[in-house]
Structure 1
Amino acid sequence: MKIKELLLTRQNFAELLKQFSMDAEDIRITDEDVILSDSYAQHKNIVKESICIEGKNKDGIVNFFGTLHYNLMDQLAVFEMQGFERVARLV
């Protein structure tokens, strides 16, 4: 299961997207494939990784920076946001 799908099952993450007027299909987790790769997660049950989640809304792009806590065995993911930046849409 993709990390994005796991995060969306958490009420807090869904609420974060609402606050920034974003839909789930408008977000992308940077390096998600690397985090999920077998070679990266080999011998680890729990992954703790700094990530960037890029989202788009009507005003432009918002990048969320924080830590992903991902339990591979239980298929649970939590995003701990440390900050964000807004990039205005060019007209």
Structure 2
Amino acid sequence: MNIRELLLNGQSFLEMLKQFSIEANNFKIQDEDIILNEPSFGTREIVKESICIEGKNNEGIVNFFGTLHYNLLSKLAVFEMQGFEQIRHPNAA
């Protein structure tokens, strides 16, 4: 199971996407493959990593910056948002 799927299991993450009008299939975790393939990732029970999540909505792109808390044993992931930036499409109102 990847990080993206685990985040979608959490109601608070889904609520954050909803607040920014982002559909659940319209976001990606930047460098998710690199995070998952880091050698120390599989040896620690709890992983804490700074990440950027890019979401798309009708107005443009929203980048969420924050910390991923990932528990390998219980397969839980939580995103703690510290900030965001919104990049609007040139012809968005």
State TM-score, norm by structure 1. 0.94
Equivalent AA in structure 2 for residue 32 of structure 1: E
Deviation at 1:80, TM superposition (A): 0.3
Q: Distance in 2 between matches of 1:40 and 1:59?
A: 38
The percent identity for this pair of structures is 62
Query: Which residue in the other structure is 2:19 paired with?
Result: 19
Query: Which residue in the other structure is 2:70 paired with?
Result: 70
- Secondary structure of the 1:39 match is coil
Q: Distance in 2 between matches of 1:60 and 1:52?
A: 16
State TM-score, norm by structure 2. 0.92
- Secondary structure of the 2:39 match is helix
79-88 or 34-43, which deviates more: 34-43
Unaligned stretches of 5+ residues in structure 1: none
Deviation at 1:68, TM superposition (A): 0.2
Deviation at 1:38, TM superposition (A): 5.5
Q: Per the alignment, do residues 48 and 5 of structure 1 end up closer, same or farther by CA in structure 2, a change over 3 Å counting?
A: same
Q: Per the alignment, do residues 8 and 38 of structure 1 end up closer, same or farther by CA in structure 2, a change over 3 Å counting?
A: same
- Secondary structure of the 1:25 match is coil
Q: How much is the aligned-residue C-alpha RMSD, in angstroms?
A: 1.1
Q: Distance in 1 between matches of 2:59 and 2:29?
A: 19
Query: Which residue in the other structure is 2:6 paired with?
Result: 6
Query: Which residue in the other structure is 2:29 paired with?
Result: 29
User: Paired residues, what number?
Assistant: 91
Unaligned stretches of 5+ residues in structure 2: none
